[in-house]
Amino acid sequence: MGISETYDRGRNVVVDQPLGVIAGVVGVLLIVDLATKLMDGSLSVLSLAIFLKQGLILGLVLGLAGVGLSMTYSILGFANFAHGDYISAGAFAGWAITYVIGGFGTLPIGDLFLVGVSGEADAGSVGVSVVSAPVAILVGFVVAVGFAALLTLGIDRLVYKPMRDQEGISLLIASIGVALALRYLLAFVFGTSSSGLTSGNIPSVTVPGIGISLNAHELTLAIGAVALMVGVHLLLQYTKLGTAMRAMADNRDLARVTGIPTERVVRATWVIGGGLAGAAGYLIVLWRGTIAFDFGWVLLLLIFAAVILGGIGSVYGAMFGGLTIGVASTVSLIWVPSEFSTAAAFVVMIFVLVLKPSGLFSGVTTA
C-alpha cells in the first residue's frame, strides 16, 4: 500500500466518521492519563479495583434486567417503559415478605410488611442479611421473581393483549401509562422516602494479592445474576421454548404460519422477562441496602443504555452492554464528579454506537 493511498484512507475515515476519530483520541488520552495516575500514586491500584468491582456488580444487575427488556422487545416489538417499575414492584414484594419472615414475632405484621414506612420495622430493628436470615432472603427472592412474573403477565392480559395488533408506538405509550400507575401505587402503599433494609454487619472476604473485599451480599448478587444469565442461555439454546422464542424474534409471521404457538411464547416471554426484572430489583436492594418507590425508574435509563449498546433485541448484547455501562459509570468517577457518572455512561454508549450503529451484538433492528 502506497503512502498516498494510506493518506487517502485516513482522510476518508476522518471525514466520514469524525466522532469515531474523536472517540478513539479521547479513549487513548484517558488510558494514558489513567496509567499516569497509577504511576505517580494519585490513584492507587486498590481504588481502581474498587471502581471496577462496583461497576461489574452494577453491570450484572443492568444486564440481568436488560435481558428481560430485550426479550420483550425482540419478540413483541416495542420498548416497554414499565419495565423499571416491574423491577420496583418485584423488589418491594420480595422485601416485604423477607421482613415479615425475618422480623416475625418482634414487631406487628403490618409494620414489617410496609418495610419501614411506619412503625419501627427498619434496618436498625429488623435488618436482615444472607448470613443472619438466609431463609428469609431466599423466600423473599423467590417471591420477588414470582410476583414480578405474575404482575407482568396480568398487565399483558389486561393492557397489551387487546392492543397486540396495534403499532409499536401505541404499546409504548400504554407502557408509559402502566409505569406511572405502578410507580404511584407503590408510593401510595410504601411511601416516597427511601428506607434502609439490610443489616450493617455483613461478613466479607478479601481477595488475595489485591486487597479488595467482597461482602456476602455482593457475592450473592454476583452468583445469582450469573446463574440466571446462564439459565437464560441454556433455555434459549437447548429447549423447544427457546427455539420458538428465537424463531419469533427472527420472523413473527413465519413462526405463526409454521405452527409455533405464538401466544404461548408471548406468555412465556412475559413471565421470564418479568421474573428477571423482579430478581434484578431484589438483588440490587440487597446490595445497596436501601429501597425507594422509584428506584426502578431511575435504573431504567441505564438499562436502556445497556440494551441499546449491546444491540437492541439481543439477549447476549444486553448482558455485555450491562457490564460495559456499569463499569463505565463507576470508572468515570476517576475523572468526573459522582453527579455526572450516569452521563459518562451515556457518552460511552454514544461513542460505541457511532462506531457500530447496530450495537455490539447487532440486535434486531426497528422499522
Query: Which residue type, as a one-letter code, is found at position 289?
Result: G
Q: Check whether 54 has a pLDDT greater than 70.
A: yes
Q: Rounded to 5 degrees, what are φ and ψ at 194?
A: -80, 135
All domains of the chain, ordered by start, with CATH? 44-200+213-355 (1.10.3470)
Contact 274, 148 (CB under 8 A): yes
The pLDDT, as a whole number, for residue 8 is 47
Q: Check whether 90 has a pLDDT greater than 90.
A: yes
Q: Locate the DSSP E strands across 132-279.
A: 195-196, 204-206, 213-215
DSSP state of 364: P
For residue 122, the SS3 value is: coil
pLDDT > 70 in the chain, percent: 91
**What global pTM score does this model have?**
0.88
The pLDDT, as a whole number, for residue 22 is 73
The pLDDT, as a whole number, for residue 247 is 83
CA atoms of 259 and 262, how far apart (whole Å): 8
Chain mean pLDDT for the chain: 84
Q: What is the CA radius of gyration of the chain?
A: 22
The pLDDT, as a whole number, for residue 56 is 93
Contact 116, 122 (CB under 8 A): yes
CA atoms of 91 and 142, how far apart (whole Å): 11
For residue 212, the SS3 value is: coil
For residue 40, the SS3 value is: helix
- Chain segment 177-204, per-residue pLDDT in tens: 999 999 999 999 888 888 788 877 788 8
- Chain segment 6-40, per-residue pLDDT in tens: 544 555 545 556 666 776 777 788 888 888 888 88
The pLDDT, as a whole number, for residue 338 is 80
Q: Check whether 318 has a pLDDT greater than 50.
A: yes
Residue 72 banded pLDDT, cuts 50, 70, 90: confident
Residue 170's Cα: distance from chain center in Å?
Answer: 24
The pLDDT, as a whole number, for residue 47 is 86
CA atoms of 14 and 20, how far apart (whole Å): 8
- Chain segment 126-140, per-residue pLDDT in tens: 878 888 889 999 999
State mean pLDDT over 216-226. Answer: 93
pLDDT > 90 in the chain, percent: 34
Residue 364 banded pLDDT, cuts 50, 70, 90: very low
- Chain segment 91-129, per-residue pLDDT in tens: 999 999 999 998 887 878 888 888 877 667 777 678 788
Query: Which residue type, as a one-letter code, is found at position 1?
Result: M
For residue 198, the SS3 value is: strand
Q: Check whether 220 has a pLDDT greater than 90.
A: yes
Residue 206 banded pLDDT, cuts 50, 70, 90: confident
